[in-house]
Chain A
Amino acid sequence: MTDISMDIARPEPKFRLDLTSDAARARIRSRYRAETRFKAYGIAALTVTALFLAVLMFDILRNGLPAFWQHSLLLDVPVAADIVDPAGKREAGAIKGADYFPLMRNALNAAIPGIESRSASKQLTRVLSVGAPDRLRDMLVADPSLIGKTIKVPLLLSDDADLYYKGAGTGIDDRAGRGTATPSGRTGEITVLTSSNDFAEELQNIKLRLKSVADTISRDAGRIERSGPDQAQRVASMRAEVANLANRYQQPGNAEALDSKVPSVLVAINGGLVKATRLDASGITGDVLLPLKSAEEAKPGTWKVVHYSTPESDRKVTDQEVAFLERLREAGAVDRHFNWRFFTTGDSREPELAGIRGALTGTALTLLVTLLLCLPIGVMAAVYLEEFAPKNRWTDVVEVNINNLAAVPSIVFGLLGLAVFLNFFGLPRSAPLVGGLVLALLVLPTIIIAARAALKAVPPSIKEAALGVGASHQQAVFHHVLPLAMPGIMTGTIIGMAHALGETAPLLMIGMVAFIVDVPTAFTDAATVLPVQIYLWSDLPEPAFQSKTAAAIVVLLAFLFLMNGAAIWLRKKFERRW
């Protein structure tokens, strides 16, 4: 229709888009390369992170998971009435207060009969935990009619024995004897002689070791000699030692003593076990660990030479204990079960008795105080600042300081708690109440900031709508804005609480680091919390506690994941798009 012609000659533009020349193609290619590179960096960064995380998780789980299992001995315990309840009144108090040690000892002696030496029988009772009778005691208190009967009951093993069954002991190998072995007795220190050179191999190993020791000393002596003439006497004594050792290893036939620094050599014969203390090619002298049934000759193949490959000095259990534990395992008395005790008891000096219930309860009480304090205060503060406060210099100052508080190191809050709550207000030390107060201070800025962000995210149109139908400002905020911001506020709160859950430093300052056996029952009881418990355990020397540390970390992480999961779930469930 419009027939106005627009034939204006268009001049060639000065700047033209060029997509076809080589330079242009190179430019495009380099652009794509840059993009690919950037993606690769991102993936690499993620991979490294994931790798670190995987290693961390693997290590923690590897260390921690075994602690969730425990070993007990299932033994027939004859409950002698005169020991448990000498008065015969069947009173719970008396039953509780009785000395169960003899019962335990009797049960063990019944399981491994024939132990005579004091040292051996002491070692036998050391296999059990001091808490071993707990279960039995509980059973008897619950049902006194069991007294006088023999009952099968699990007896808790000591931490070392437990660890032994979890694989922290020694490798054991054996080979059948080639000659006829003749023991000189059934118990005590005996000799076992064989008709062939059954122990030549062991002897040679010892000689080789002597040689290497001699070589080391000789090298050291040479070095000391070169360094100066003033230690001539020491050098001389070292030379004499070398000569002595050389004398020993150069004569292949003569007997050698065994010490705890070499793998143990034992002889299993006639149903008993002898630990060699001295051996030559054709026989040993040693202590009986498990009594022999008889002192008769043993035919080739019916007896065995046994090696404990880890030297005795390198493990927590003695050869005697290994012998007992192996015997008990063979007897089928060892029971592996989930370590409920870990979740039901408080701390203890004995690793096998220590649990995290005290720490968990302490954590729960502390976090409860924290939540009760900082949720209402935080939300109200956020609502006031976001919705009602006049925007002026003062609110700016408040806002900046809230953001600053969120960045203050947590230890500072601990110091504050120490100074204000303990020293000024005189609140009890180590109490969840104080811990909760301190953590509330710590978490409050986080919650205020999260709540303000959540309130800001509610579209102003909702508030306007409420105002538009004649709601007061407060009604608009509390009826409409706050409920819509609640999922965001809850998410922020949970993340803040998770932060508090993992916090250690401020709690150390207010004395929640004490060794506390009892499970706290009130806000003012002495208590500790999970991360502090982890910190405490990680410091202890017993290897079983290392495992407990990792297990407690697993529990802590599980809680953290649970809380963060809850936060994500809340966010997803109530997420609203406008």
Chain B
Amino acid sequence: MTPSTVSDRSARPIYTAAESPEATPQQLGEPGSFPYARGIHASGYGGKLWTMRQFSGFGTPEETNRRYHELLRAGGTGLSVAFDLPTLMGRDPDHPLSLGEVGKCGVSIASLADMETLLEGLPLDEITTSMTINSPAAMIFAMYLVVAEQRGAAWSKLSGTIQNDILKEYIAQKEYIYPPRPSMRLVTDIFGFCADHVPRWNTISVSGYHIREAGATALQELAFTLRDGIEYVQYGVDAGLPVDRFVPRISFFFNAHNDFFEEIAKYRAARALWASVMRERFGALDERSWKLRFHTQTAGVTLTAQQPYNNVVRTAIQALAAVLGGTNSLHTNSLDEALALPTSEAALLALRTQQVIAHESGVPAVVDPFGGSYYLERLTADLEAGAREYFETIDRYGGMVEAIEQGYPQREIADSAYRSQQAVEAGEQTIVGVNRYTDDAPADIPILQIDEQVERDQVSRLAALRERRDAAAAARTLDALRQAATGPANLMPFILDAVRAYVTVGEMCDALRDVWGEYEETPGV
């Protein structure tokens, strides 16, 4: 079989200076200096290891809170909240569309009361918290801020990330509510609000992860993600924000897939592209605006239901690529995730995988150890050039919002997904245990079951909250939010007021649905 990378580029059996004229010290620069292909810190992981941030959430806020305490006791160094589908879609647990989905794929958070429970006993000014929330990002973030306020933790000291990346929702994950333009306004409102009030918060995590999981190649993941980043910066600038005031808080999130070298090259190319685009296209002067910081998650899509213990090995190799590529934080998937949400034991083994890389392999001791490799530098340069071609195509559409409206990235990804499935079925791409080295042994591993009682509990808890809260305050703040959405004011203060009055995620999202309507994509295959 000819070796080939995931982006359909054939690899040669050997690379020399002839294939890689870029591999000279002058072209590469040093770690910690522009264009940062070799890393944003001169000392690599010498000063600080990556954050081991395991994405977790299921069932009720109480159950998830217990899992967080377990993960921190086991040596996890940051939290990462997974919300259930009703929360992600801005629907309360008692909405008809939420039936059967409450607490299934993440934790159910309907109001400030749930957020208080979720964060019980966690030191908010000492830990960093990442929240995977997009369409209702402003509402969930406001809940986090209000819990901090209740506990006397200063907003200026809070650190963490909200995903808040709506463009990749239209492109890949499809958890959108509103049309693109009002959605982009919510994003830039958060940029502006945080610049003034929560300066250490990462206001967005521009995500290639979901784009890749939906079927994109490494090149498409890189190109669409970075181009999304450019779109956010452009919308921020158009909203009147100075570049160096909000760009330093933009962070990224990439996938770690199977093709080991290509993945490492992808992270290096991403840093170099971002630095040069921020400097050249937007005239950013603050070097913090040039430095691309990113989280990585190993590729869920590569996990197999067949022979599930093989997934531990896949995840370890993918995680190693992320570390060699200089990731700033990392989530390693659990071996059972092609079957269900992870059990506590599987999640612990995934964390241990990171700890073995960090403390036993010796890999973190050297910054960018592949720098100057003929093959890696060739791949890095090719990915950069390929991404720039995609940037030009998307610019011709008028920008990413316009390209999305015309279905361009969606089609590119669906084409790649189909090609990749065909390659697996033709045996051109091997998946151990699926199309080679198969056996008939059943995948006999423990599976996490979400109790159906969770849904009933969340529904009755919500009914009690609606009884208990100050109805007049809830109605007043909700009306004020609805009214503000028709004008240009920053919506964050209005959302904070509604959250303090225990208005629910569904109620706030509905108020904005009234004003902005809902987005519907044209189904295409």
A binds B: no
